[in-house]
Amino acid sequence: MKNKFFCLHAHFRGQAAADPRTGDWKTEPSARPWRDADHRLAAEELLPLYAAARASGGSPAGGPPDFCGLTSFDISPRLLDWLDAFFPELPAALAEADRRAVRESGEGAALAHPWPHAALPLLSPRDRRAAVRWGLDYFERRFKRRAAGMWLPENAADEDTLAALAEAGVLFTVLAPSQARAFRKRGLQKWEPANPNSLDTGVPYEWNAPGGASLAVFFSSPRISELLRSSPCSAPELSAAVEAEIPHGRGAALASAALDWERHSRRHPGAAGRLASFLRSVNRSSRWGLSNYASFLRDNRPAYEVAIASPSSSSCPHGLERWSGECPCRDSSGPERPVKWRPALRRAAVLLEERCASVYERDGAALFGDPWKVLEEAGAALACADPHEARRFLSRAFGRQPKPAEARKAMELLRMQQARLLSLDSDAWYFDGPDSPAARGALAWAAAACSLAGTDGEAAAEGFAGLLEEGETGTGAAFLGEFRKPRGPVLAACSKALFLAAGLPPAPRQGRFHVLVNYEERFEKEGAAFLGCCLRVEDRDTLANEEFAVLAVLPRDGEAFALAAPAADPEAASASLAGLSAAASAAGTIELARARLALEMRAGALSGEAAWTAAAAGLSAGRPSADEKSWLSELRRLSPARLQDPSLPALLRRLTDLLGSPPPGAHETCRQAVAHLRLLLERSDPALAFAGPWARLFSDAPFTAHLPGLRRVLAERLEEKNLPAETPAFREALGGLLRETGLDDPYDLEKTKT
């Protein structure tokens, strides 16, 4: 029986940022033609492996027991939420990989991840407990089981952090060997200093908290980790490294390596395939096999205790200075840039915590018996987009059905604390400047927290901006600009009015806001089109309802815009629009509306998918054409006949090139096309003319994510070759399509053999 194992752990963290005002995922211009960095990761590394696993019916014979050939993984809640929006098959595949590991080894492959992705030792005790509890609750909702282990962002740890994990019921975590300070055999008094020569990374260690709680700690192999980091590494190189870590003549051992999957795949293109091939060969080895941390810990309890360097991390040799001080650790090799902004941002985060805690305690005490306990327990409700889940949670927290005003206030307070915690994402400090996408995203969440603080928000924002300005000139002003942007409900109302005026469809996915039209009036003056409407905006996050009066203006020439104002009720909104259509001219209508409706929103200032649609439809430079409105509508609900139109793939390509990223609904359209091809292949001939244009579209970024799916469908068809419906012309055309998508043509092979 094998007692020596290898474990490869992949950390999936993601970089996509959501707009706190609307809930939309932001596009990142620097990632073009991809939508953002996560789009590239999913397309180039995750979907191909998922398709390969599907094509082989799960794990290859004798292969590893879970997704992508990985024996252990964790994935941040942020990335899982992003995948839900764009590639929902991947979260499902990860959950199935974990279930398969449970069936085959008795223990799951997935580790929980704190929410947010923050350096836990730098959080206050209350924030740390909330981040751990939220991460565990998120994991349980996703993977349908309690997590045994938890991955720490940046492997950042100290005594208090490990104690928080142990108190929450976490059984183990994974650290870098450099974070071990000393160790000793259980039952002995003397501690041995930990160094690369003395610390055995092949066994788990027990860490004991002063209060009596304990936690197992695994240490990744420095030799294997360095090999993976520094080179593409072939299977023989990896095998030799694992052999060196698991020498003959000793007891049970687990050699493990943990890697940041995104950085690794970006540094070594194609590494995923090489690693999967290596792991399959490992699993067939007669001397050692594959395992995961939880399974090995179940069968091998720690015989040694460990003390860790506190605080410490795997990403910074200076402890945690990279996220709080001015250490020289950098992400790039470009010109050096002063990093005074790092401690300034940390001081601003501490100030914001104090201000928000004051508001939360003051207002929360009137609603909850124990506000901080309610915050810890709110993670599942805050993570779920269904407002009914929030209402059920509030009923439990109140011990009764809360009144609408109480529910709104409670959710505003909880969302304020959620936004502040999300602003503490460790990536905000990791890169070289406060203008990185991660830092901008963190500042947007901090601005959202200030906005939700009510009357105290302005003072909190001013103080936050002042501390930022001390670190780098201009950052404070940029933050205040973010804080003073129009709120999400206003954006939703203006977007709805503009799209109604232009005859455009709504966004393809149900977002944070639901907009109801109570009244609308259309009229034209001097070639300009107007739409006055009374709108009710329901916010699924805060359970708030707001009324707005909006006038959408589509001028004859120039950018479309909307004028809006909040209203106490539908009657007041209607009164704000009264008489606008009776003005003598277009200019007079706009002048009268501006006197009543103080908020102005240009089409170019919309966010997320609304911005893409508005730009592509021509709202930033006149009215959309009939053709533009047609394809925008069809991308939402494509009929089979429209899917077979060979011009549709070319249209998607043209639109993507036009604005630098795929249009809303493009990935769903591609998935529908692949599914439709599976049906057409049953009838043989019609499928080939349909599949060719899509295959050409999938051969180039950013649509390469769908090429593995197309290949899988073709491979399934080949398993049933020589069907009665096949004709020589079909076989010839199919052979060309197979070659175009990089697959072998079995018909040619058979002819060659003959």
pLDDT tens per residue across span 410-434: 999 999 999 999 999 999 998 888 8
Q: Are 485 and 461 in contact (CB under 8 A)?
A: no
558 in the same domain as 540:
yes
d(CA 565, CA 582): 20
Question: In the structure, what pLDDT confidence band is assigned to residue 518 with cuts at 50, 70 and 90?
Answer: very high
Q: How far from each other are the two terminal CA atoms of the chain, in whole angstroms? A: 47
Residues 507-529 have a mean pLDDT of: 85
d(CA 162, CA 152): 10
682 in the same domain as 660:
yes
* CB atoms near residue 260 (< 10 Å): 17
Token pair recorded at residue 724: 């009665």
Question: In the structure, what pLDDT confidence band is assigned to residue 60 with cuts at 50, 70 and 90?
Answer: very low
d(CA 155, CA 219): 11
Find tokens 């394809």 and name the residue: 631
CA atoms within 13 A on the CB side of 670: 29
Question: In the structure, what pLDDT confidence band is assigned to residue 753 with cuts at 50, 70 and 90?
Answer: very low
Q: Are 730 and 709 in contact (CB under 8 A)?
A: no
d(CA 136, CA 165): 10
Q: Which of 483, 504, 536 is the last residue of a domain?
A: 483
Sheet holding 172-175, edge to edge: 172-175, 214-219, 205-208, 304-308, 180-185, 192-193
DSSP-derived 3-state class of residue 699 = coil
User: To 10 degrees, what angle do helices 685-698 and 707-718 make?
Assistant: 150
Residues 481-494 have a mean pLDDT of: 92
Find tokens 């006197």 and name the residue: 595
- Kindly state whether residue 440 falls inside one of the protein's structural domains: yes
Which residues are registered as beta bridge partners of 562? 552, 601
Q: Which is more confident, 61 or 166?
A: 166
Q: Which is more confident, 675 or 547?
A: 547
* Domains identified in the chain, total number: 4
Over residues 202-218, the pLDDT tens digits come to: 899 999 988 888 999 99
Question: In the structure, what pLDDT confidence band is assigned to residue 621 with cuts at 50, 70 and 90?
Answer: low
Q: Which is more confident, 237 or 63?
A: 237
User: To 10 degrees, what angle do helices 475-483 and 437-451 make?
Assistant: 50
172 in the same domain as 46:
yes
725 in the same domain as 699:
yes
Q: What is the pLDDT of residue 685?
A: 57
Checking if the pLDDT of 298 tops 70, the result is: yes
**CA distances in angstroms from 12 to 121, 263, 401, 480, 505, listed in the order given:** 21, 10, 39, 32, 35
Task: Give the 3-state secondary structure of 319-335.
Answer: CCHHHCCCCCCCCCCCC
Q: What is the pLDDT of residue 62?
A: 36
Q: Are 149 and 293 in contact (CB under 8 A)?
A: yes
Q: Are 496 and 551 in contact (CB under 8 A)?
A: no
DSSP-derived 3-state class of residue 581 = helix
- Kindly state whether residue 321 falls inside one of the protein's structural domains: no
DSSP-derived 3-state class of residue 435 = coil
Over residues 17-54, the pLDDT tens digits come to: 889 998 888 888 888 888 888 898 888 777 776 765 55
d(CA 527, CA 160): 67
Q: What is the pLDDT of residue 614?
A: 79
* 680: amino acid identity, one letter: L
249 in the same domain as 167:
yes
**CA distances in angstroms from 600 to 431, 512, 552, 596, listed in the order given:** 35, 21, 10, 11
Over residues 332-371, the pLDDT tens digits come to: 655 577 789 999 999 999 999 999 999 999 999 999 989 9
- Kindly state whether residue 162 falls inside one of the protein's structural domains: yes
Q: What is the pLDDT of residue 737?
A: 74
Over residues 141-161, the pLDDT tens digits come to: 999 999 999 999 999 999 999
Checking if the pLDDT of 687 tops 80, the result is: no
Q: What are phi and psi of 546, to 5 degrees?
A: -130, 145
510 in the same domain as 460:
no
Q: Which of 451, 483, 515 is the last residue of a domain?
A: 483
Q: What is the pLDDT of residue 228?
A: 81
Checking if the pLDDT of 59 tops 50, the result is: no
d(CA 448, CA 428): 16
CA 568 to chain centre: 37
d(CA 206, CA 217): 6
495 in the same domain as 477:
no
Residues 118-137 have a mean pLDDT of: 96
Residues 551-570 have a mean pLDDT of: 92
Q: Are 59 and 282 in contact (CB under 8 A)?
A: no
Min mean pLDDT across 389-403, 443-457, 682-696 is at 682-696
Checking if the pLDDT of 283 tops 70, the result is: no
Q: What is the pLDDT of residue 754?
A: 43
Q: What DSSP string runs through 173-189?
A: EEE-GGGEEEEEETT--
Highest mean pLDDT among 91-95, 249-253, 531-535: 531-535
Token pair recorded at residue 466: 């002042």
- Kindly state whether residue 332 falls inside one of the protein's structural domains: no
Checking if the pLDDT of 632 tops 50, the result is: yes
Question: In the structure, what pLDDT confidence band is assigned to residue 704 with cuts at 50, 70 and 90?
Answer: confident
Q: What is the pLDDT of residue 718?
A: 73
Strands (E), 483-619: 513-525, 528-539, 545-554, 561-567, 599-602
d(CA 659, CA 637): 22
Checking if the pLDDT of 61 tops 60, the result is: no
Q: What are phi and psi of 11, to 5 degrees?
A: -105, 115
CA angle (150 as vertex; 298, 114 as ends), nearest 5: 165
Token pair recorded at residue 752: 């060659």
687 in the same domain as 559:
no
- Kindly state whether residue 22 falls inside one of the protein's structural domains: no
Residues 648-661 have a mean pLDDT of: 83
d(CA 611, CA 494): 12
- Kindly state whether residue 325 falls inside one of the protein's structural domains: no
d(CA 550, CA 501): 11
Q: Most distant CA pair in the chain: distance in Å?
A: 96
* 651: amino acid identity, one letter: L
Q: Percent of the chain at pLDDT above 90?
A: 49
Q: Are 597 and 493 in contact (CB under 8 A)?
A: no
CA angle (335 as vertex; 329, 336 as ends), nearest 5: 40
Q: What are phi and psi of 6, to 5 degrees?
A: -125, 140
Find tokens 């000393």 and name the residue: 182
d(CA 415, CA 384): 12
DSSP-derived 3-state class of residue 262 = helix
Question: In the structure, what pLDDT confidence band is assigned to residue 58 with cuts at 50, 70 and 90?
Answer: very low
Q: What is the pLDDT of residue 65?
A: 34
CATH code where residue 47 lies: 3.20.110.20
User: To 10 degrees, what angle do helices 457-471 and 475-483 make?
Assistant: 160
- Kindly state whether residue 622 falls inside one of the protein's structural domains: no
Boundaries of domain holding 559: 488-616
**CA distances in angstroms from 488 to 16, 409, 513, listed in the order given:** 19, 17, 8
d(CA 382, CA 390): 7
496 in the same domain as 348:
no
Find tokens 């943990």 and name the residue: 258
User: Of 354, 293, 314, 347, nearest to 126 (Cα)?
Assistant: 354
Q: Are 563 and 553 in contact (CB under 8 A)?
A: yes
Per DSSP, the chain holds a count of helices (H) and strands (E) of 32, 16
232 in the same domain as 351:
no
Q: Are strands 528-539 and 513-525 parallel, antiparallel or unpaired?
A: antiparallel
283 in the same domain as 362:
no
Non-local (6+) Cβ contacts of 451 within 8 A are 457, 483, 487
390 in the same domain as 465:
yes
Give the pTM: 0.90
Residues 255-280 have a mean pLDDT of: 78
Q: What is the pLDDT of residue 610?
A: 80
- Kindly state whether residue 632 falls inside one of the protein's structural domains: no
d(CA 43, CA 47): 6
Q: Rounded mean pLDDT of the chain?
A: 85
Q: What is the pLDDT of residue 196?
A: 82
Question: In the structure, what pLDDT confidence band is assigned to residue 57 with cuts at 50, 70 and 90?
Answer: very low
**CA distances in angstroms from 447 to 73, 251, 341, 471, 742, listed in the order given:** 33, 55, 17, 18, 48
Find tokens 């060969």 and name the residue: 281
